[in-house]
Amino acid sequence: MLKYLNVKVKKGFTLLEVTIAIFILLVGVTAGSVLIARTVSQMSVFSSKLIAAYLTQEGIEIIRNIRDTNWLQGGAWDEGLTGCFFTGCEADYTATTVENPPGATAYFETFANNFLKIDISGFYNYTSGTDTKYKRKITIVSGADILTVTVETTWSEKGKDYSHIAQEILYNWK
């Protein structure tokens, strides 16, 4: 008697099930595309932040090298470094300017809000090459046998301003 009951056997999907499946697939694909697009657009910002971090650290290393060179040459350990208190300074590893005689370890001048340049070898400096988007300001506060070095690297990208700041305390330990 059960075999004569009017039971319908499903053989496919209904229009409602197909519509819901397509909607779920579209939401997943759209979310994935948006995630990939945002990641790709942020890659340049992440790259710029990494370069800025390295430029900031290089600014501290330049001041440390000038201090060490002063020691090796027998001069005052903070010679030439105490003038960056109010206005800040710009420095890189190129040498020989009016302020820096031949044999100097770094280019060192009063901060003028100049863009760093990149030369054909890939080195950042202030004297030759193509302008980049980065500016680096080095501020030094001196105390009794202490130099507090603050380096700020700034740049603009996609209409937004960014900065990276690092601080180091250098001592006259000699």
pLDDT digits (tens, 9 = 90+) for 110-160: 888 889 999 998 899 988 899 999 999 999 988 888 989 999 999 999 889
Positive/negative CA dihedral, 126, 135, 64, 73: positive
Q: Where are the alpha helices (DSSP H) in 3-160?
A: 15-72
pLDDT value, residue 101: 47
2-23 average pLDDT score: 75
Q: So where are the chain's domains? A: 17-171
CB of 79 closer than 8 Å to CB of 71: no
- Whether residue 6 is predicted with pLDDT greater than 70 in this model: the reply is no
pTM for the full model? 0.74
CB of 135 closer than 8 Å to CB of 115: yes
Confidence of residue 4 (pLDDT cuts 50, 70, 90): low
Q: Residue 56 in 3-state DSSP?
A: helix
Q: What is the mean pLDDT of the chain?
A: 84
Give the span between the Cα atoms of 138 and 12, in whole angstroms.
72
pLDDT value, residue 169: 93
Confidence of residue 33 (pLDDT cuts 50, 70, 90): very high
